[in-house]
A and B are shown apart, each in its own frame.
Chain A
Amino acid sequence: MVNENLVKDVVKEPYKYGFVTDIETEKIEKGLNEDIIKLISQKKEEPKFLLDFRLKAFKKWQKMKEPDWAALGYKKIDYQDIIYYSAPKQKEKISSLDEVDPKLLETFDKLGIPLTEQKKLTNVAVDAVFDSVSIATTFREELAEHGVIFCSISEAVKNHADLIEKYLGTVVPASDNYFAALNSAVFSDGSFVYIPKGVTCPMDLSSYFRINSGDSGQFERTLIIAEESSSVSYLEGCTAPMFDTNTLHAAVVELIVLDDASIKYSTVQNWYAGDEEGVGGIFNFVTKRGKCLGKRSKISWSQVETGSAITWKYPSCLLLGEESVGEFYSVALTNNLQQADTGTKMIHIGPKTKSTIVSKGISAGNSKNSYRGLVKMGTKATGSRNYSQCDSMLIGDQASANTFPYIKSQQPNSEIEHEASTCRISEDQLFYLQSRGIEFEEAVSMMVSGFCRDVFNQLPMEFAAEADKLLALKLEGSVG
């Protein structure tokens, strides 16, 4: 039998991103109404079309009901008890990174995000978002040389209003779901990426989201447009301090891919998950969707979900273009009292479209981990294919793993294959590794890592190594 105490004895490293940056912030009052939305819009000096977009979304949101179909249980969110805009106080206009508050730079330094010049060598352009606003975006000039636009969405609203007006809300309409409507009404910042025709983005782009205040929600919006024959790899990371209260994070990500273009979107989500008793932690309700508009276009989602008290997230692909490809690779790990209901939607609309889903769920402690996915073949999706694989691993007898795949086909000339399995860490394998002199905890870690290998292989280099470490860290004290 596996010795429960062995692993529990392993040093429990606390959530290392749980610190709070003591910085003067500008917050608006709590609550949500039309005036608050107007105030946010006014603060961001937005054009009229965006204010209208927000107000329309707010009206729709008021009529909607919070979804309850997910296998999640959490206390009711009081939407009037949230601050919808919070920003660190800064000088009016920042012309270079040197003018950014050193405290902020220090924060991102601590998080390992290379904003300062000497760290730029890593060759990843970063857009750092702190609470409701974007602090800095690196490598902008270098990217501009290639015609790539990478900036915060607030800047894009000012400088590229035409693109925003054309594409915002076309993939995830404001009325799509409760949380998307909320986000559309109050989104404060986020990243905007535009890759022009024929350009392969010379470096990975990355956004880093940091929630700092305990009483404000984060509502960012990301929009990525890949023109014909272009490609980009985009990385996203998130952390938050440890608070006893629950903080709401409701983001929307929209991807648009035209002919022969591709977007690879990777996420390592490490929001604060609450403590062992389930106190505190982020409520993470995210709508991510990509539209493969062009022929032979491709969207690849890869995600490592280890944080958040509640995760509600289904990165999806609408496969419209002929021969377009959608991919979803996910590792979701839950421990203690975390709950995750995550998966994907692959909607095959165009002919000869292909999709692959690989989902690995690991549940430990008293957590609940559900895969929920939809694969749909429309009437015109002739010659389309889908392959899905969902594996769950249970660690300890208190955790639960659920699988809910929804499969719908209206096209005889298409093929759907789905398989799912649930198992525990094999004792034979553990014994084998231990008999070769490998420590118990290391053996468990190796096996979990092996279990997730298919997904880690899809992550960009920087993330893959980190993800491995992150999983090992998160599992400590939970293996029994």
Chain B
Amino acid sequence: MEIIEKIRTNKSRDNLTEIQKICLHKLQSSPLPNLKSELWRLSNKSKLSNFLDYSFNEKDSKFDIPYPKNSQSTIRLIIGENCQIKLIEKNYSIQQLSEDELQKYIKEQISYFDQNENWSDLLNLSLSCKNNILGLNINGSKIPPIEIFSHASSNSLNAKTLVIFLEKNCEVELLQVNLSEENSSLSQSTFFCLKENSSVNHGVVSYGENRSNLLNSLNVIQQNNSAYNLGSLHFKFNYARFEINIKQSAGNAKTNIKGMQITKKDEQISTYTKIEFNGPNGFLDQINKSLADDKSHAIFEGSIIVPKIAQRTNASQLSRNLLLSNFAQIDTKPQLEIIADDVKCKHGATISQLNEEELFYMRTRGITLTEASKLQLSSYFQEIISFIPISKDKWDLLDKLLNEN
């Protein structure tokens, strides 16, 4: 684990930013997370060490976005391409955060970090250099859709960080795409701050190639009356971990999450979510779907935390899983931790295979087993895919999921 060794000996690089120094310092005493802890015990140790085996790549190699823009108005940004962003139009503005603003915000976040719980972020921030941090302030109305790309090139470990401030009363559609080339590792951390009355439809699509790895961490702070909708999809990773951390800082906010992970071969993809309600009248509707085939392993752990202050919280969480092979495995653990008494919280979890009766019905109508299975799967996928903004048509996600591999 080259990276860990570097962190430990601190022989890495000169010109470290203050944030990098703080994070390195935090990591030095124990550079790896506690693999026996609840958050890491199911993680495949050799895959995690494989993630850390690549040498760190600071400079980005050029890469081509595999899909054309579907409309001219869409704004496309690539993290790492050192472009100055300053879009000031009549109705809206999208501006790069100043270094001071960035530092101040990230520093504040780090102060709450727990070495184990936020290890992915600490690693990311200790590696991400100035060029690989993109900070945006979005303000105004009628904002065109935004696409943001993170990319990992072959045989290297890449770290990308995205910070977004969404100003008051602002509405935006944002699609984040994480692409990993063969034999690569990508560490992606995203920090989202939704101010009052703002709303975002956030899509996260991550897919890799042969033997690519991903550590994707998403931290969201929601202020009063904000609405955060997340549609996410992770597939084709040797090892991927998606950590979602959402805090409704004063309650009164809405969160909708629809996520999906698909594992094949010997892949391991896991999703960990932690949703905290720090005020009354919070709302959460979450569904997470997993599909595990071949010898793969899909993991979901979701916790909902409702302290005493969060009265009248209404939260529901559902984990639906399809297990398609005798050698695959699924672990799921939805959890509720509740102290407030005037709340409605529920969770559910199911693990099964494709519905045989439905398959039989279709086959009696002359549809082949393969086609019938595909039809069933497409309806299973569609619920999530239709929730991912912008991507709907051009990304052919459904087609990718059904016909590749």
Contact = CB atoms under 8 A, between A and B. Distances in A.
A408 B343 contact: no
A398 B309 CA distance: 10
A402 B345 contact: no
Contacts of A412: 323-326, 328, 353
A419 interface: yes
Contacts of A411: 323, 326
Interface string B317-346: 000010111111111111111111111111
Contacts of A94: none
Nearest to B330: A409
A94 to B, nearest CB: 51
Contacts of B344: 421-423
A414 B326 CA distance: 11
Interface stretch (A102-110, A308-316, A389-397): A389-397
Given A397-B341, A402-B335, A402-B336, A408 B346 contact: no
A423 B341 CA distance: 7
Given A405-B334, A408-B329, A399 B339 contact: yes
Contacts of B330: 407-409
Contacts of B142: none
Contacts of A300: none
Nearest to A400: B339
A359 to B, nearest CB: 13
A396 B349 contact: no
A422 B346 contact: yes
A415 B336 contact: no
B61 interface: no
B347 interface: yes
Contacts of A397: 308, 311, 339-342
A397 B307 CA distance: 10
A300 to B, nearest CB: 23
A408 B346 CA distance: 20
A155 B171 CA distance: 76
A466 interface: no
A200 interface: no
A400 B329 CA distance: 32
Interface string A406-441: 111111111111111111100000000000000000
A402 B325 CA distance: 33
Contacts of A403: 334-336, 347
Size range of the chain B interface in the assembly? 35 or more
Given A416-B351, A416-B352, A379 B337 contact: no
B350 interface: yes
Interface residues of A, number: 35
B196 to A, nearest CB: 27
Nearest to B344: A423
Contacts of A399: 339, 341
Q: Is the interface of B mostly helix, strand, loop or mixed?
A: strand
Contacts of A422: 336, 338, 343-346
Contacts of B353: 412-413
A394 B306 CA distance: 12
A418 B353 CA distance: 15
A473 to B, nearest CB: 21
Contact of B341 (A395, A402, A410, A414): A395
A401 interface: yes
Contacts of B336: 392, 401-403, 420, 422
Interface centre among B325, B333, B336 (most CB of A within 10 A): B336
Contact of B332 (A407, A415, A423): A407
Contacts of A395: 341
B342 A392 contact: no
Contacts of A420: 334, 336, 346-348
Contacts of A398: 308, 339
Given A404-B335, A407-B332, A409-B321, A424 B341 contact: yes
Contact of A401 (B38, B338, B352): B338
Nearest to B307: A400
Contacts of B333: 404-407
Given A379-B326, A395-B341, A409-B329, A419 B347 contact: yes
Contacts of B326: 379, 411-412
Contact of B338 (A379, A394, A416, A419): A394
B350 A402 contact: no
Given A397-B340, A408-B329, A415 B351 contact: yes
Given A379-B326, A400-B339, A416-B352, 16 more contacts: A392-B336, A397-B308, A399-B339, A403-B347, A405-B334, A407-B333, A408-B332, A409-B321, A409-B329, A410-B329, A411-B323, A412-B353, A420-B336, A421-B344, A422-B343, A422-B345
25 contacts: A392-B336, A394-B340, A397-B311, A397-B342, A398-B308, A399-B339, A400-B337, A400-B339, A403-B334, A403-B335, A405-B334, A405-B349, A406-B331, A407-B351, A408-B329, A411-B326, A416-B349, A417-B348, A417-B349, A418-B347, A419-B346, A420-B336, A420-B346, A421-B346, A424-B342
Q: What 6 pairs between A and B have smallest CB-CB spacing?
A: A394-B341, A421-B346, A418-B349, A416-B351, A400-B339, A412-B323
Interface of B: 38, 308, 311, 321, 323-353
